[in-house]
Chain A
Amino acid sequence: MPKLGNPFRTLVVLATVAAFAFAAVSGAGAAPARKATTTISGAGSTFVAPLIAQWISPLGSAYGYELQYSAVGSGAGITSITSRTVDFGASDAPLTSDQFAACNGCEQIPWALGATAVLYNLPGVKNLLHMDGPTLASIFMGKITTWNDPAIAKLNPGVSLPSTKITTAHRSDNSGTTFNFTDYLSHVSGPWKSQIGTGVAVNWPVGSAGKGSSGVAGIVSQTPGAIGYADIAYALTNHLKYFAMKNASGRFTTPGLRAMLSAAQSDVHPAADNSLSIVNPPKAAKYANAYPICTFTYVIVPLKSSKAADLKKFLFWAVTKGQTYGPRILFEPLPNPVLVVDEKAIAKIHT
């Protein structure tokens, strides 16, 4: 029988294969020997991602859970939990009835309270410029195009505004933050509501698109004259300026913890599907200090899950102990009435 080709060549091939195998095996061995941990995987909102990131290590030490979270946007989170690709989804936009039906036995539970900041980048101008809803709507509709437009100047008397062109930044992916932002604009601007509307993604007439809250924050931080929207946590971590928004009571408020708490008072009774709407609280003494673009954000879980016990433990922890990690990054702990509803909802999960 003829020889199997040049022995040297065969040796080289065998050696390469052996090297790969050795690398793979030793790599696997070198991975830290982990005790049997339970993995809880989730996907969704980039809005709440900073808060969830704070939970990973305390959860690991408290219960031995390995929390995995992919911040792919609220829309992708909903589709992921619908197809049961993950154990929980996260969305800032409440599910529509169609989405509930598609999810087939899911419930949504508000588990964090945050605010959408309107970020801007204008070198040489101070932080916390004043802005109001109708003007903001005009900017995002492309009707106001420069910073020294009279509408903006009127809100900021005494501030010298340059003639820089305004570039708006919005989300390219389906986003609960977009939902919150457009919901607010629909409440305060008739033209916005009729021409564009509310949604996790809308037909933006102008502007650049970024993926995820970090994408929008990225555009704003790199583009002089840009205005975008993202969870306030992204403004802080990236040292971006943001507006003080005029609320229904006429005050210019910023997305701080007290302003969020005040806004949260405007809807303390979750609907049957546990959703709450706290954008643009009406004019009243109670909401005088409210920031008008706040939102609850929801975790979406199947009522029936093989990991029911772990999910319940995780969620109980999240809505109680987990809230204490919030204030640092401007997530206000859940108000008590909401907490009560949450605990009842969590108890409904079964195997």
Chain B
Amino acid sequence: MSSQGLTGPALHLDRLPRRRRVNRVMELLAWLAAAIAIAILGVVVFSVARKGASELNFSLLTKDPIPFSLTNAPQGLANAFAGSLVIVGLATAMALPVGILVAIYLNEFAPGSIRNGVSLVLDLLNGVPAIVIGIFVFGLLVVGHGQNGFDGAFALACLMLPLVARATMEVLALVPNSLREAGLGLGSPQWRTTLSIVLPQTIGGIVTGTVLAVARVAGETAPLLFTSSLVGTQTSWNPHHALQTIPVAIFELSESPDPADHARAWAAALVLLIFILLASLGGRWIATRKRTKTTAR
């Protein structure tokens, strides 16, 4: 519908084709941006998958590394897989209870100003770069005592804590007040209400938050460089000593000139990536299932 003798602002109708063209260009750019993002992800994942798959074999998980090997004896990264399991497991054990308790306090007990304050503190903790956490734990725990798995786990726990706390807070806030009142109305004290009625409603969200936090720290390298990097080659499950971990192993192997080391690094990266992707997607899947459940009430 072009101009039909209208004056004033209607003159702008003459620019309609141009405006449409601009619009088209912008839409194409947006499509392009999305395509680029997918392409990048595709390239990275594809590189890791292709290069990692060729070296991915059972020895990677069961054999220890043999540095400067002059023979072709099979070697792998068993010590790193074991160490990662132990350290991430310990970190989860440290961060989960504290995170849940903080969320309970902020949501159920804290007056407004304290809640705002501690919320801010949690966000600040979330914003501290991982390498600064490494420096901190090093100065606090490692100096004078040596590295060990517990120090590494503590550093990772500091990174997990805000994520777990925030996820728990969000799901606690979703629990309707009516539930709490119902509990009180039945004569249950507040602590009982919180633990037996409110908290079980939030388990899905807590699991999601924890799984996502685990996915995040499973690949963290910087804090472990400071706390658990002087390691041997033999597999150990004892966190009283420094344990090798997957991200640190990948980091060290990536800077080596030996193509065999690179191949092992790709394979370890592939395993790590698969684990993290499964955890992230799994966590989100649990979240959506939970959400449909609560909204389908």
Say whether B68 contacts A53, CB under 8 Å: yes
A2-B197, A5-B200 are known contacts. Are A66 and B257 too (CB-CB below 8 A)? no
Contacts of A5 in B (CB 8 A): 200-201, 203
Say whether B89 contacts A83, CB under 8 Å: no
Say whether B255 contacts A70, CB under 8 Å: no
Say whether A68 contacts B229, CB under 8 Å: no
Say whether A83 contacts B197, CB under 8 Å: no
Contacting residue for B232 out of A69, A220, A237, CB 8 A: A69
A sample of 13 more A-B contacts (CB under 8 A), given A5-B203, A70-B230, A329-B68, is A2-B183, A13-B203, A24-B237, A31-B237, A41-B232, A66-B232, A68-B233, A72-B229, A83-B144, A86-B230, A214-B256, A215-B256, A218-B256
Q: List 26 A-B contacts (CB under 8 A).
A: A2-B196, A13-B203, A20-B89, A24-B85, A24-B86, A27-B82, A31-B235, A41-B230, A49-B68, A53-B67, A54-B68, A54-B70, A66-B232, A68-B232, A68-B233, A68-B234, A70-B229, A83-B144, A85-B142, A85-B230, A86-B230, A211-B255, A215-B256, A218-B257, A234-B257, A329-B70
Q: With an 8 A cutoff between CB atoms, is B146 at the interface? A: yes
Q: With an 8 A cutoff between CB atoms, is A238 at the interface? A: yes
| B82 nearest CB neighbor, chain A only | A27
On A, residues with C-beta under 8 Å from B are 1-2, 4-5, 9-10, 13, 20, 23-24, 27-28, 31, 39, 41, 43, 49-50, 53-54, 56, 66-72, 80, 83-86, 210-212, 214-215, 217-218, 220-222, 233-234, 237-238, 328-329
The 3 closest A-B pairs by CB, nearest first: A68-B232, A5-B200, A218-B257
Q: Separation in Å of the A131 CB from the closest CB of chain B? A: 21
| A21 nearest CB neighbor, chain B only | B89
Q: With an 8 A cutoff between CB atoms, is B204 at the interface? A: yes
Contacts of A53 in B (CB 8 A): 66-69
Complex Cα–Cα for A90 and B150 (A): 26
Say whether A237 contacts B255, CB under 8 Å: no
Say whether B257 contacts A217, CB under 8 Å: yes
Would you give the 0/1 interface string for B71-114, flagging 1 where the beta carbon is closer than 8 Å to chain A?
00000000000100110010000000000000000000000000
Complex Cα–Cα for A217 and B70 (A): 17
Say whether A212 contacts B144, CB under 8 Å: no
Complex Cα–Cα for A54 and B258 (A): 18
Contacts of B142 in A (CB 8 A): 85
A4-B200, A13-B203, A84-B146 are known contacts. Are A237 and B68 too (CB-CB below 8 A)? yes
Say whether A218 contacts B255, CB under 8 Å: yes
Say whether B237 contacts A237, CB under 8 Å: no
Complex Cα–Cα for A84 and B147 (A): 10
Q: Separation in Å of the B189 CB from the closest CB of chain A? A: 12
Complex Cα–Cα for A211 and B207 (A): 39
Q: With an 8 A cutoff between CB atoms, is B296 at the interface? A: no
A5-B203, A217-B257 are known contacts. Are A72 and B89 too (CB-CB below 8 A)? no
Q: Separation in Å of the A73 CB from the closest CB of chain B? A: 11
Complex Cα–Cα for A54 and B235 (A): 19
Contacts of A218 in B (CB 8 A): 255-257
Complex Cα–Cα for A41 and B232 (A): 7
Q: With an 8 A cutoff between CB atoms, is B143 at the interface? A: yes
Contacting residue for B234 out of A4, A20, A66, A234, CB 8 A: A66
A4-B196, A66-B234, A85-B230 are known contacts. Are A9 and B203 too (CB-CB below 8 A)? yes
Would you give the 0/1 interface string for B199-212, flagging 1 where the beta carbon is closer than 8 Å to chain A?
01101100100000
Q: With an 8 A cutoff between CB atoms, is B273 at the interface? A: no
